[in-house]
Amino acid sequence: MHFSHPNTPCARLATLVLLAALSLALVPRTRVAAQPGGGAAGDTREADKLAPDVRSLVRGARRGEKVRVILQLHSLPSADLNTLLEGGGEVRVRARYQSLDAWALEVDADKVGRLASFGEVGFVSGDYELRPLGHVTSTTGADDVRAPAGRGANYSHVDGSGVGIAVVDSGVYRQHRSFLERGKGGEWASRVVHSEDFTGEGRTDDPYGHGTFVASAAAGNASLHGGAYGGVAPGAHLVNLRVLGSDGTGSVSNVLKALDWLMTNHARFNIRVVNMSLGTPAVNSYRQDPLCRAARRLHDFGVLVVAAAGNLGKDAAGRKTYGHIHSPGNEPSVLTVGASNTFGTDARDDDAVTSYSSRGPARAYWTDGRGVRHYDNNVKPDLVAPGNKLVFAASPGSTLLARHPHLESDISLADAPDSKLMYMSGTSASAPVVAGTAALMFQVNLAVTPNMAKAFLMYTAQQLRGFNAFEQGAGQLNAEGAVRLAKTMRAVGLNLTYAARPVPRTVIAAQGFAWAQGVMLDHSWATGEELITKYQRAYTLDAVLNDGVTEGYSTVERNPDEFTAGVNVGEHVLLSDGTRLGGGYVFFPTSLLLGDGVMVSDGVMVSDDTASMF
C-alpha cells in the first residue's frame, strides 16, 4: 500500500479496512442512540455494553476476584437492579453520582456480565487511572486585550473578574502570592474561593505540585518579578477540585465525584469554565465514556469544559504518531487543546506545534454485537496554545519538584515558599491558557455560550504553517481576537452586530496575521462570515457545534436547522501546509469521510487504535 508525501500536489487517499474478531462469549447489547454531535441518526446497531478492557479483565480474573467499574444508566434502575446494588455482597456501591446517572461499584468479576444484562444499563467501563497531562500573556494576545487606548480599544478592566474557573487537578496551594488580591478593606485574600477534596486524603492543598501551576497559568496575578509570569485571567476566582492524590494519580471515579459536585454548585460560584489538564487513554467512544458524558452534561448547563489533548504525539523513537487524543478530550462538546512552542519569543512567525502534543483523530470506538469496532474519528484537537517551558506558580515542597529539581525556576530560587515558580511543558500547561482566555470572554459578554466561545476561539485562531488539522485543529490561540469578538458582539434577534465590523486580523509583537475564519467540526471545516455575524442555532446550550453538519458515507452537508445558508461546510479541512483556506495542498477532501477503519494520507496509516507516520 502506497502513501504519498504530504507535500505532493495531489496527496493520494488510502483506506485500511479493519476487521475485528468475533467474540464467542455472550455479548450484552444495547441499541446505539443518536446523541447530539455524534452518532448517526437512526443508527440501530446493537452495541456491546461492556468496555473492551473490562471484558478482558473479567476473562482473566480469578474466582471471587473483585473489580472496580463505572456503571452508567439511561433510565431509572429497576427493582431487580436496585436489589443487586443494595445487597452488599456481590456488588458494593462505592459512590453514586446523582446528577450523572452513574455509579462507582466494586463487584465480583463473574457478576459483571449480569450487571450489563439489565435493560436500563447503558454501559459498564473500568475505573481507569488518570494522570496529569502536563511572557504567555504577550504572545497569546492577552496583554493586547488590556492594551492602552493608544494601541486600540481600552479594555484594561478585562481580567476575568466575576468569572469562576474550576480547576480539576491535584489541588491548589491557595496561599501562593499568585492567587492573592487586596480586598475592599485593604486586607489580602486568596482568589481560591472554594476547595473540595475527592481523593479521600482529606486535604485540598497541592502536595504533588501540578494543580497550582495549572491554576496560575489560567488565573495567576502579575505580582511576581515585574509581572512577567502572570496568568491570562488574573481577576478570575478559582474553585479547587482535587482529584489527583499526592502521587499525581487519580481515578475516573474521583473525577466523576468532582463533576457531579460541579453540576450542583456551578451557579453558586458562577463557574463558566472548567479546566481538566488530566486524562486517560480514550478507548471507549465518547457516546459511552463516563467522563465524556459527564463533560457533555456540564456543557449543556452552560459550563465550557477545556481539556488537554495529551502528550503522546511521538513514539519512543521520536516519530510522529496520530490518534492518541485522551478522554475527555475526545468528546465533541469539549474544547480540546494541544501544545505549541513559542521558542521564548512574543512574535508568532516562528511558532510551531510541539512534537509531543497528541494528534488526532480521536480513535475511541464502540463495539457492536458482532464484535466489529466503529471508530469516532473526530478531528481533534480544536486548537493549540503555548505549552512549552512555561513558568508559573510552584507549590512548595511538592513531589514534582522533589523528583525533578531542575523544574524549579532559577528566577525564584531565593524567593519565599509562597512565591516559588517552576517550569512545565505539555498540553497540561496549554489548556489553562485557553481556559483563562474563555473566562475573559465570559466576563465581557454574558450572552456568550460555551459553543459560541469555542467557535470564536477557533475562528480567530492563527493557522501555523507546516501543520495539519490533526496537529493544530483550527490553529493557535489568539486571545486578542477572541475577546475582541466577544466584547463588541451584541445579539439582536438572529443577528450578531458590532460597533465596528470585525477585521479578521490581529497584530501581536508588531506582526500581523489573518484569522483562520473557520470552525472545526466532526470531520470537516465550516467557513463563512455568518459564523460571527449571525447567531447560529448550533451556539445554543442544547446543541453542539458538530450538530451543524449532516454526514453520509461519502458526503457532508450543512445542517440548515443549525447553520444558516451563509455558512459553508465541507469544502475542505485545514490545509496540510498550514496556510489560509483555499491555498496549498488539501489535507483531505470530505468526499471520503473518516469512517470505520478509514484513514487518509499525509503519510498517515491508522491501524486498530493507534496510528503511525510512515
- The three cell numbers of residue 455 are 467557535
Dist CA 387 CA 476 (whole Å):
11
Query: Strand locations in 198-277, DSSP E?
Result: 237-242, 250-251, 271-276
- Most confident region among 75-89, 237-251, 488-502 by mean pLDDT: 237-251
Handedness of CA 394, 398, 400, 402 (dihedral sign): positive
* Residue in this structure with the C-alpha cell 489573518, named with its chain if needed: 514
Dist CA 223 CA 234 (whole Å):
10
389: left (phi over 0), alpha (psi -120 to 50) or beta: left
Residue 462 DSSP label: B
Answer yes or no: are the C-beta atoms of 469 and 573 closer than 8 Å.
yes
Please tell me the predicted confidence (pLDDT) of residue 442. Answer: 96
Q: What share of the chain is helix, strand, coil (3-state, %, to 5)?
A: 25, 25, 50
Give pLDDT tens digits for 265-307.
999 999 999 999 998 889 899 999 999 999 999 999 999 999 9
Dist CA 550 CA 555 (whole Å):
8
Dist CA 204 CA 172 (whole Å):
7
> Which residues make Cβ contacts (< 8 Å) with residue 248, sequence separation at least 6?
131, 132, 170, 208, 210, 399, 400
Please tell me the predicted confidence (pLDDT) of residue 610. Answer: 34
Please tell me the predicted confidence (pLDDT) of residue 350. Answer: 80
Please tell me the predicted confidence (pLDDT) of residue 556. Answer: 77
pLDDT range class, residue 141, cuts 50, 70, 90: low
The answer on pLDDT for 502 being more than 60 is yes
Of 158 and 608, more confident: 158
pLDDT mean over 120-135: 78
Instruction: Reduce the DSSP state of residue 177 to 3 states and report it.
Output: helix
Give pLDDT tens digits for 149-200.
334 444 657 899 999 999 999 999 999 999 998 777 778 899 999 999 999 9
Dist CA 559 CA 565 (whole Å):
9
The answer on pLDDT for 45 being more than 80 is no
Give pLDDT tens digits for 304-321.
999 999 999 988 888 888
The answer on pLDDT for 601 being more than 60 is no
Which residues on adjacent β-strands are paired with residue 408?
422
Dist CA 389 CA 359 (whole Å):
20
Please tell me the predicted confidence (pLDDT) of residue 31. Answer: 44
CA dihedral 226→230→233→237, nearest 10 degrees, is: -100
Q: Which helix (H) or strand (E) holds 102?
A: strand 102-108
Of 61-70, 240-249, 308-317, the one with minimum mean pLDDT is 61-70
> Which residues make Cβ contacts (< 8 Å) with residue 406, sequence separation at least 6?
none
Please tell me the predicted confidence (pLDDT) of residue 571. Answer: 58
Dist CA 456 CA 392 (whole Å):
27
The answer on pLDDT for 15 being more than 80 is no
The answer on pLDDT for 346 being more than 80 is no
Domains in the chain (CATH in brackets) are 49-127 (3.30.70.80), 160-610 (3.40.50.200)
